[in-house]
A and B are shown apart, each in its own frame.
Chain A
Amino acid sequence: MVLVDDDADRAAFVTQALRVAGHDVVARLSANEDLLSAVRRLRPDVILVDMDNPARDVLDNCAAVTQQVPRPIIFFARDADPDTISRAVRAGVSAYIVDGMAAHRIKSILDVAIARFREHQRLRNELDEMRTRLADRRDVERAKSMLARVRRLDEAQAYALLRRSAMARRITIGEAARTVLAAAELLDPGVGDGGGETP
């Protein structure tokens, strides 16, 4: 089995799970390599590929021009269960499989890959969310102290004002804070300096 993924972190994550499930991952390739030669050399039964990798079209061409590779490789498999394919596509993983491979083996490999791609996405979302939350807290602090200074409010009043503005415009308080800071920067480059540089 060959994995085509430029995200080394995710590739390691997927490879490990596939190995635990008893599948042999012979190589990880990235978009910038000569994929056609690698596929010819390694003759994998299965190529798993990240759907957001620009090399997808190169692999699709291998599948279309079957005489270029020693064995006919097809997108997923003629007898693969459409539900599994649909889940894989939504998870962002795609596969090329040697014609004639047993359906239960295909399903087992895809199930592992789908689960790992989803899990990786979930972890990444959590990380992004945490970063946003940290950024929000920092920006809200800065906007609050700036409002307090300019409008002569105490911190609690400044916070309430910010929250009302966010609710009225149906945006998050972090977004409201960034809008205030950006506007302040535009009006007077000195005003927003209270807590460091504006975003």
Chain B
Amino acid sequence: MNLVLPFRPEIAHLTIGYMPLLDSAPLLWAAHRGYFRAAGLDVELVGEVSWASLRDRLAYGALDAAQCLAPMPVAATLGADHVGVPMVTGLCLSRGGSAITLSRTIADRLGMTTGMSATESATAVARYVRGGACLRLAHVFPFSMHHYLLREWLSRGGLDVTGSDSGSIEFLVAPPPQMVRLLESGAVDGFCVGEPWNTAAVKGGLGFVVTPTSAIWDGGADKVLGVTREWAQQFPNTHRALLAAVMAALDELEGRDVTSELTMLLHHAKVLAVPEAWIEAVLRGQGTGIPPRFASGLHAFPRRSQLMWCALQMLHCRQWNGPVSLSSLTAAVCDVSAYCDAAGVLGFPQPAVDSVREGAGLVALGADGAAIESRFIDGSELDPADPAAYLAARGWHPEAAHSAVAG
């Protein structure tokens, strides 16, 4: 692809942080295929070992941009992350790609079988902990889809993990490469993590994959490309050139079968210390593999309603004690114009609206009427015009819900 862009980047040399995971592929691919260079950028990719350090380096200017967990820019702008350096995103990188795995022992004890729905497995967990047992479940970061979707899964079984059942479930954070070891040592009973760690637990005979998180919310963004608000305002053209280069990579990753080449790239970049064959199996969705879905086309647009869902989760699990003006928060985080400008020059689809009714199934998003899918496991909906109703449906007193999202 030849990127002839009308953007004249204010700065050309960029340092971009990523976490060595399968869904860092869009950034590695953009570098590999020369899209950054074609966009007039000289990009240095830097691998990080923790989300917290990646965030700090981004917040304090040691990185220009970074692959972020989708809730991170929201938490940063809200101040819930205790750093409080406002961030924006103009691009989704991936959706789904993670799964919930329980230890073989617990899964056997609960009578879990392949083919059980996520609701059935959550119900089995609820029955187990109501019988007096406790579960220790790990995820990757307090502000992650993994964390929130793990909680959503448990609540599907009728557990109130922020209230009456909070003593029965302990949530922990662990670095993904350590998850399988923690399962083996019995330090955790299960986890929600991206691949290939679910596959690794199954291959080691230690874990049982309960559900991919895409069954809990089909349509949620998993990773986004984040920059600080200050950076986005200072370097608008650089931001657009960067988005266009990564969009070109996303389009190619989803549009063509590049699995073999991508496997080699991820393997040689030493992204993951697992056998090359596993990476390929996961990318192809073979065995128990849950492949990441790269965000191409309209899926690459970071909808404000997706970001609103993240903020609602922060309220719901008490990471932030309101009130929050969700409308101004999501308007501040989602860089709609940067996305539209970059998509425009590539001739990629433009969104007609910046929010949709999440969970409503097939919802119209594109300027050409194209629709995307958004489904919650419990059939609920998030109406961006009435976010209080979403909290009320999760057991909040209507008045408390209204005052939490006031303004």
Do these two chains really belong together in a complex?
yes
Take A54-B177, A58-B174, A85-B60 as given contacts and tell me if A64 and B142 are in contact as well, using a CB distance cutoff of 8 Å: yes
Interface centre among B80, B82, B143 (most CB of A within 10 A): B82
- Residues in A with CB closer than 8 Å to B172 are 36, 58, 61
CB of A57 within 8 Å of the partner chain: yes
Segment among B51-59, B105-113, B236-244, B293-301 that sits at the interface with chain A? B51-59
- Residues in A with CB closer than 8 Å to B187 are 34
Say whether A51 contacts B53, CB under 8 Å. yes
Chain B interface helix/strand/loop/mixed = loop
Q: A44-60 toward B: CB 8 Å interface, digit per residue (1/0)?
A: 00000001111111111
Whole-angstrom distance between the alpha carbons of A51 and B56 in the complex? Answer: 9
- Residues in B with CB closer than 8 Å to A75 are 52, 56, 81-83
Take A36-B172, A64-B142, A86-B61 as given contacts and tell me if A94 and B81 are in contact as well, using a CB distance cutoff of 8 Å: no
Whole-angstrom distance between the alpha carbons of A193 and B51 in the complex? Answer: 47
CB of B369 within 8 Å of the partner chain: no
- Residues in B with CB closer than 8 Å to A38 are none
- Which residue of chain A is the closest to B49 with respect to CB atoms? A54
- Residues in B with CB closer than 8 Å to A181 are none
Within 8 A of B (CB), among A24-70: 31, 34, 36, 51-61, 63-65
CB of B405 within 8 Å of the partner chain: no
CB of A140 within 8 Å of the partner chain: no
Whole-angstrom distance between the alpha carbons of A64 and B148 in the complex? Answer: 14
Say whether B319 contacts A64, CB under 8 Å. yes
- Residues in A with CB closer than 8 Å to B50 are 51, 53-57, 60
- Residues in B with CB closer than 8 Å to A51 are 50, 53, 56-57
Take A52-B49, A53-B49, A89-B62 as given contacts and tell me if A61 and B57 are in contact as well, using a CB distance cutoff of 8 Å: no
Take A53-B49, A55-B175, A86-B61 as given contacts and tell me if A94 and B56 are in contact as well, using a CB distance cutoff of 8 Å: yes
Whole-angstrom distance between the alpha carbons of A14 and B135 in the complex? Answer: 38
- State how many angstroms separate the Cβ of A99 from the closest Cβ of chain B: 10
- Residues in A with CB closer than 8 Å to B177 are 54
- Residues in A with CB closer than 8 Å to B174 are 57-58
Say whether B60 contacts A89, CB under 8 Å. yes
The one of B49, B59, B62, B142 in contact with A60, judged by C-beta atoms closer than 8 angstroms, is B142
Say whether A65 contacts B49, CB under 8 Å. no
- Residues in A with CB closer than 8 Å to B83 are 75-76
- Residues in A with CB closer than 8 Å to B141 are 57, 60-61
Say whether B49 contacts A56, CB under 8 Å. yes
CB of A23 within 8 Å of the partner chain: no
CB of A180 within 8 Å of the partner chain: no
- Residues in A with CB closer than 8 Å to B92 are none
Say whether B142 contacts A74, CB under 8 Å. no
Q: B166-188 toward A: CB 8 Å interface, digit per residue (1/0)?
A: 00000111110110000000010
A-B contact count (CB 8 A): 78
Say whether B82 contacts A74, CB under 8 Å. yes
CB of A90 within 8 Å of the partner chain: yes
Q: A73-108 toward B: CB 8 Å interface, digit per residue (1/0)?
A: 011100000100110011000100000000000000
Take A75-B81, A85-B60, A89-B62 as given contacts and tell me if A52 and B173 are in contact as well, using a CB distance cutoff of 8 Å: no
CB of B91 within 8 Å of the partner chain: no
CB of B140 within 8 Å of the partner chain: yes
Whole-angstrom distance between the alpha carbons of A58 and B142 in the complex? Answer: 9
- Residues in A with CB closer than 8 Å to B171 are 65
Whole-angstrom distance between the alpha carbons of A76 and B174 in the complex? Answer: 21
Say whether B60 contacts A57, CB under 8 Å. no
Interface centre among A53, A60, A86 (most CB of B within 10 A): A60
- Residues in B with CB closer than 8 Å to A36 are 172
Whole-angstrom distance between the alpha carbons of A86 and B173 in the complex? Answer: 25
Whole-angstrom distance between the alpha carbons of A34 and B187 in the complex? Answer: 9
- State how many angstroms separate the Cβ of A83 from the closest Cβ of chain B: 10
- Residues in B with CB closer than 8 Å to A86 are 60-61
Say whether A57 contacts B173, CB under 8 Å. yes
Whole-angstrom distance between the alpha carbons of A85 and B82 in the complex? Answer: 13
Within 8 A of A (CB), among B194-221: none
- Which residue of chain B is the closest to A34 with respect to CB atoms? B187
- State how many angstroms separate the Cβ of A91 from the closest Cβ of chain B: 10
- State how many angstroms separate the Cβ of B20 from the closest Cβ of chain A: 11
Whole-angstrom distance between the alpha carbons of A54 and B176 in the complex? Answer: 9
- Which residue of chain B is the closest to A67 with respect to CB atoms? B318
- Residues in B with CB closer than 8 Å to A61 are 141-142, 172-173
Say whether A60 contacts B178, CB under 8 Å. no
Whole-angstrom distance between the alpha carbons of A82 and B319 in the complex? Answer: 23
- State how many angstroms separate the Cβ of A144 from the closest Cβ of chain B: 32
- State how many angstroms separate the Cβ of B271 from the closest Cβ of chain A: 15
Q: B74-114 toward A: CB 8 Å interface, digit per residue (1/0)?
A: 00000011110000000000000000000000000000000
- Which residue of chain B is the closest to A82 with respect to CB atoms? B60
Q: A36-B172, A94-B56 known; 9 other A-B pairs, CB under 8 Å?
A: A53-B49, A54-B50, A55-B175, A57-B173, A57-B174, A58-B174, A64-B319, A74-B82, A89-B60
Write the residues of chain A forming the contact surface with B, with a CB cutoff of 8 angstroms.
31, 34, 36, 51-61, 63-65, 74-76, 82, 85-86, 89-90, 94
Query: What 3 pairs between A and B have smallest CB-CB spacing?
Result: A56-B50, A61-B173, A64-B142
Write the residues of chain B forming the contact surface with A, with a CB cutoff of 8 angstroms.
49-53, 56-57, 59-62, 80-83, 140-143, 171-175, 177-178, 187, 319
12 intermolecular pairs with C-beta atoms under 8 Å apart: A54-B178, A56-B50, A57-B141, A57-B175, A58-B174, A60-B50, A60-B51, A60-B141, A60-B142, A89-B56, A89-B62, A94-B56
